[in-house]
Amino acid sequence: MKNPRLSNRYAKALFDFAQEKGQLEEVNQDLALIKAALKGNNEMTAVLNSPVIPPAKKHTVFANVFQSLVSETTFLFLDVIIRKKREPALATICDEFGKYYNDFHHIKVVKLTSAQPLSPELVEKIRNLLAEKTQQTIRIEEVVQPDIIGGFRLKMDDYYLDASVIAKLNRLRDEFAHNVYQVNF
């Protein structure tokens, strides 16, 4: 179930509650743990998304897995999500909470894609340049994608910079194709 408005409402409610209780950092870490667990475990995701498994059984599964690992606030939130049958949206709720957390702390998440791993010095240079331009803390998520051949792609919010070799080759191909049709003999 992908309902961004629903996920946004639950994430905002949890964010406000955690902030009010002074547990913002703790809840953020808990949700990162839950998101990682969901991403790395197909069986848990299947249990979560199954309409056949009753909420009581899902609650037992979550209690066995998470109760000793997360704060009471986060566990009570999980209980509400399960009782309201919103557990298929849990991963999206975690993502939305992360956005609220990042906005609150003036953190920009940048996705940096390259053909091979970049040196730590270069990544730090990019981070510092972006931090200077945005006046915010920059957190870089590096992705290695060999099919871009070389160069890099940078995505931050709505800003997208494609300085990859494959993009340059595609632009050249399009330019040559366009110019070939305009040549008059």
Angle, alpha carbons 140-9-99 (nearest 5°): 10
* pLDDT tens digits in sequence order for the chain, 185 residues long: 467 899 999 999 999 999 999 999 999 999 999 999 988 888 888 888 888 888 888 889 888 888 899 999 999 999 999 999 898 899 999 999 999 999 999 999 999 999 999 999 999 999 999 999 999 999 999 999 999 999 899 999 889 999 899 988 888 888 888 776 665 55
What pLDDT, on the 0 to 100 scale, is given for residue 1? 47
Global pTM?
Answer: 0.79
**4-103 CATH pick, 2.60.40.10, 1.10.520.20, 3.30.56.10, 3.40.1080.10:** 1.10.520.20
Q: Where are the domains of the chain?
A: 4-103, 107-182
What pLDDT, on the 0 to 100 scale, is given for residue 49? 85
Task: Give the whole-angstrom CA distance, residue 134 versus residue 163.
Answer: 20
The two domains 4-103 and 107-182 share their CATH topology (first three levels equal): no
DSSP for residue 164: E
Topology of domain 107-182, per CATH? Answer: Glutaredoxin (3.40.30)
State the amino acid at position 29 in one-letter form: Q
What pLDDT, on the 0 to 100 scale, is given for residue 62? 86
